[in-house]
Amino acid sequence: MGTTGKGIGPTYTDKVSRNGIRVGDILHGFERKYAVAKARHEQILKSLNYEYDLTEQEKAWMEGVEYLKQFSLVDSEHEINNFLREEKSVLCEGAQGTMLDIDFGSYPFVTSSNTVCAGACTGLGVAPNRIGEVYGIFKAYCTRVGAGPFPTELFDETGDKMCTLGHEFGSVTGRKRRCGWIDLVALKYSVMVNGVTKLIMMKSDVLDTFQTIKLV
């Protein structure tokens, strides 16, 4: 799947199974909820005969919990909608790309969340009709980390050149990204499912030294 190994998948599994710990829980009954969650995960690991030592991870996690306590926790849906009622500008930036969306991406080679524009609504608690402009940001060429379909992938020195000039290495894992020519079919699909109103192309300078630039 090309996982980053950071526990995103298991975290979403906890959420969907209604077993996850939520941010607000760190202020109310945290110790009990944490103990229950920990016991459940340890049971899973033991059933798989997986050897583990949680000492370091648990220490780091608890430090993270204490760090979060310094902030004021708010109900984001009310916060954002209040801004909108006051006619303030709100910019929501998504992560990853359309083709990694759990529902509309190249399943099963996808992430665990909705990466399309609609994810802003479910993530922030904002109604779809409150969305104004939708900026679709895309590279002048295509990249992908990990497994999954990639019709325009290059396996030659051209692909290597894109990778080097574009510094195409995973921000979390440091893995080399797969590179290829821009896929206009995928771009058109992305524009459709996101309701894009403005397109912004980035990294065109990476292709400056190429004698030939191909489109698919």
Q: For the residues of 158-212, what is the DSSP string, one character each? A: HHHHHHHHTT-B-TTT-PBPEEEEB-HHHHHHHHHHHT-SEEEEE-GGGGTT-S-
* 37 in the same domain as 102: no
89 annotated as belonging to a binding site for a ligand = no
pTM of the model: 0.87
Q: 172 a known binding residue? A: yes
- 1 pLDDT band, cuts 50/70/90, is low
The mean pLDDT value for 129-133 works out to: 94
Residue 1 maps to a domain: no
Do 212 and 137 reside in the same domain of the chain?
yes
Is the model's pLDDT at 84 over the cut of 90? yes
Q: What is the pLDDT of residue 5?
A: 75
| Pair 114, 39 in one domain | no
The mean per-residue pLDDT over the stretch 69-97 comes to 93
How high is the pLDDT of residue 9? 87
The model's confidence at residue 127, banded by pLDDT at 50, 70 and 90, is: very high
Catalytic status, residue 15: yes
Band the pLDDT of 170: cuts 50, 70, 90.
Answer: confident
Q: Mean of the per-residue pLDDT values for the chain? A: 93
Given a cut of 80, is residue 3 above it in pLDDT?
A: no
161 is in an annotated binding site: no
E strands, 77-121, in order? none
DSSP state of 123: H
Whether residue 2 has pLDDT greater than 70:
no
Q: Which of 6, 15, 33, 69 is catalytic?
A: 15
- Establish whether 96 is an annotated binding residue: yes
* Domain enclosing residue 102, as ranges: 74-132
Are residues 44 and 13 in contact, defined by beta-carbon separation less than 8 angstroms?
no
Same domain, 78 and 56: no
Given a cut of 80, is residue 115 above it in pLDDT? Answer: yes
> What residues form DSSP beta bridges with 198?
135
Average pLDDT over residues 172-200: 95
Domain count, the chain: 3
The answer to whether residue 196 is domain-embedded is yes
* 22 annotated to a ligand binding site: no
Q: Are 23 and 68 in contact (CB under 8 A)?
A: yes
